[in-house]
Amino acid sequence: MDCIINRRAQFSAGHRYWLPELSEAENRQQFGACANVHGHGHNYVLYVSMAGELDEYGMVLNLSNIKHDIKREVTSQLDFSFLNEVWPEFKETLPTTENVARVIWQRLEPHLPLVKIQLSEHPDLWADYFGNGWEAHLTTCTHFSAAHRLAIADASDDENDAIYGKCAYPHGHGHNYNLEVTVKGEMDNRTGMIVDLGALNQLIEDLVAEPFDHTFLNYDIPHFAKLVPTTENFVLHIRDILTQPIRELGASLYKVKLIESPGNSCEVLGEADGEMPASEAELVGAV
């Protein structure tokens, strides 16, 4: 039986986004505060995912050996380091989150049966790397607050109550929504970036977070005038809003996840191999 096991590790390190072939003004324009001369730091969280068959002891791998390999090859070298200088790979390509994940894969692959490296530099920003050359996924998160009522316009109150329960109450209810947007693409082999993160975050803010924040979806958002604003319908709408603008930034929208409460979330795939998939959403939890 094949299993995937995950090992968590962490390290603290600093880095700077700076290309010597660019002027100071050009670096500032491209990287903003990340170009500050003394750099900045993160408490990185690393998840190493490995796959294999169970041995006679009921394990894929000995966890003590995994811990030792990760410490020897990665965390002991990166912890309390300045990433730009610690490994030669970061002389050629900046130590962005996605590129650090890629290089960690290269360091661990000779020792472990890897299937994924996930590296988070912040709870709202992480990269996933699967060993596919310069290709990776990058996830960024934001939040907003909005209200909605789950009710079919031409159905009676009793009918809506039977379908949606408390969510059909006439005055609606609200949520503090958390949104995770995952893009897919190839890293630039000099900047180490899939996409301009500042531009991506601004795009999400301008097209989603700000327009939906503090709205009553049924009445303030034309898309939901006749469409019930369930979490599923909402996340599909967000996907459709973001797909083309993200493509124009040079990446592809891989996945959107909308969390309306700790017990209820929905995620939908974006572009796959250049084609928009059918509307497919997975609901987690109960309304």
Among the options 135, 167, 186, 205, which is catalytic?
A: 167
Catalytically annotated residue among 73, 121, 232, 260: 260
3 is a catalytic site residue: no
Which candidate in 122, 143, 173, 214 is catalytic?
Answer: 214
Positive or negative: CA dihedral 85, 87, 91, 97: negative
Catalytic status, residue 214: yes
Is there a catalytic annotation at residue 260? yes
Query: Could you give the residue numbers annotated as active site?
Result: 167, 214, 260
